[in-house]
Structure 1
Amino acid sequence: MSIPFHARCNSVPSMQHPQAAYVHEQLTRLRSSEAASSSSSSSIYQRLSNLQDLHDSLDKMLRLSLTNKALTQVQVEKLLDGSLRILDLCNVAKDALPHMKEGLKEIQSILRRKRGDLSAEVKKYLATRKFLKKSFQKVLKNLKVSENKESSDKSLVVFGEAEAVTVGVFESMFSFMSGSKACGKWSLVSKLMNQNKAACKAEVNEFTRVDLEFQSEKSLKIEDVQNLDSCIQDLEDGIESLSKPLIKYRVSLLNIL
């Protein structure tokens, strides 16, 4: 991915400009929320919402004549590359979430009606989860590689920091959807100690909790399935809403180019 820029930008509006100052405030808010909040569906949804505001502000900043005239073609192309990578991350999430949601709806229907082949649907869902988790891990690995790349361009501090913060939110989201590795499989000792198992399950997120219940099928709770379905819906809504300002931002870059 790109690009943690550390130098102050000389070619675009300084932090004294109201729009640039507002972007800086939003970046600070996002960094603080990432440091303070736990990895929960509500915290990730809130950060996705904050990203919408950030990219709306970046788009307005791009429309300023001062910014528009100052950016070189090379700089605009660099920002276009970053915006395309982020849209690609949006698309990965957009493709993955409906697959899981569809499987959960079938399972909920069987649990409510108490008719149908629950075991078969659970196996289908777990197979989908296994495939998607590999995809998420691949995305996370690529993000780690990209984070280690340095950029020689020191003139785009605000835009570069916004890209880095945005990528960080997506990294948290894909890690969240991948589930907890620590509790993914219990050791023999943990299986023999119900208290440890209960403590482990209390710490995991919605995705991992349902994965564990589906693997055993004995402790399956429709409430947990419904909670996960609601969590997926929130993430879908957040991604869909974020994609709109991301596209507007990219269109503004293309207009400059």
Structure 2
Amino acid sequence: MAISSNVRSKSFPSMQHPQAAHVDEQLTRLRSSEAASSSSICQRLSNLQDLHESLEKLLRLPITQQALSQDQIEKLLDGSLKILDLCNVAKDVLSQMKEGLKEIQSILRRKRGDLSAEVKKYLASRKFLKKSFQKVIKNLKVCQNNDESLVVFGEAEAVTIALFESMFSFMSGSKACGKWSLVSKLMNTNKATCEAEENEFTMVDSEFQSEKSLKAEDVQNLESCIQDLEDGIESLSKSLIKYRVSILNI
């Protein structure tokens, strides 16, 4: 979905404005990116942080503030709250997983303790979390906004939610995409690339199901992956809070 000046209201900054053009460039880059690995997901989280910092600057422009009605401001607030909720869900899940892995790592290092019991506990937790992911993903909806003054903000919300859907699928080991409706269209998702691939999460799941192949190095890699995702989500959360404060200040 291209953003151009001919779909904007006269009062809203056109894409000729440097800040608006910068936001459009960031959206284009995010739409074309793929989230097939933890590193690419972390990079997209970083790009989303930059995007919301740019949106926050766009909101501070007098011409932007003059173009937004109270109803539009409420829509922006609702959207930002939805994404912050996703950040909190992701942080809670990653924190739970990290705690379980720390206990397993401790047993592996000390070579004493009930490893089998901890592994079963971790796998049971993973099973519950996967169901939670499926529920969250099912409830993710992006409503196409035909309001000319909110097009750029609506696209930002769509690509952000698409990232969380990719991340939750990556963490659960399920297919990276499904019936995304608007999100699929915005992200130009290729269904051929949507098959589940082995990653840090699925690799450790597989090893835990067959303890004979368990590798401490893979558990460590997963812990590092989780830490990277936590850091990226935390940074994005801070930018979203700043963005939300700017909306409230209008």
Pairwise TM-score range, normalised by the shorter structure: 0.7 to 0.9
Percent identity among equivalent residues?
Answer: 80
1:115 aligns with 2:109: no
**What does residue range 134-173 of structure 1 map to in structure 2 within 5 Å?**
134-143=131-140, 146-147=141-142, 149-173=143-167
* Alignment-derived partner of residue 90 in structure 1: 87
Distance 2:32 2:146 in 1: 27
1:67 aligns with 2:74: no
User: 1:181 and 1:8, CA in 2 relative to 1: closer, same or farther beyond 3 A?
Assistant: closer
**Measured at CA, do residues 92 and 5 of structure 1 come closer, stay the same or move farther in structure 2, by a change above 3 Å?**
farther
| Contact 1:51–1:242 under 8 Å retained in 2 | yes
| Amino acid in structure 1 at the alignment position of 2:125 | T
- Report what 1:210 is aligned to: 204
CA separation of 1:26/1:80 partners in 2, compared to 1, >3 Å: closer, same or farther? same
CA RMSD between the two structures? 2.0
In the aligned structure 1, how far is the partner of 2:146 from the partner of 2:22?
A: 26
Provide the residue aligned with 1:18 in structure 2. 18
Residues 163-210 of structure 1 deviation map (CA, whole Å, 9 limit, x = unaligned):
11111111111111111469xxxxxxxxxxxxxxxxxxx941111111
SS at match of 1:156: helix
* Paired position in structure 1 for 2:7: 8
Gap runs ≥5 in structure 1: 183-201
With the length of structure 1 as denominator, give the TM-score of the two structures: 0.84
Map 1:29-108 to 2 at 5 A. 29-34=29-34, 38-108=35-105
In the TM superposition, residue 153 of structure 1 has moved relative to its aligned partner by 2.5
Name the CA distance, whole Å, in 2 between partners of 1:65 and 1:114: 63
- Cα deviations across residues 84-140 of structure 1 (Å, max 9, x unaligned)? 100000010011101000110111111111111000110111111111111111111
SS in 1 for 2:148: coil
Q: 1 CA distance for matches of 2:146 and 2:153?
A: 14
Letter in 2 for 1:227: N
2:33 aligns to what SS in structure 1? Answer: helix
2: CA distance, partners of 1:5 / 1:151 = 13
For residues 141 and 93 of structure 1, what CA distance do their matches in structure 2 show? 15
Number of matched pairs: 228
Q: Which runs of 4+ in 1 moved over 6 A?
A: 4-7
Alignment gaps of 5+ in structure 2: 177-195
Q: Over alpha carbons, which structure has the higher Rg?
A: 1
Q: Which residue of the partner structure matches residue 128 of structure 1?
A: 125
Give the AA of the match of 1:8: V
| CA distance 1:100–1:47, shift in 2 (3 Å) | same
1:5 and 1:161 in contact (8 A); partners too: no
**1:80/1:15 Cα in 2 relative to 1: closer, same or farther (>3 Å)?**
same
More relative contact order in 1 or in 2 (CA 8 Å, sep 6+)? 1
Give the distance between the partners of 2:134 and 2:15, measured in 1 at CA. 37
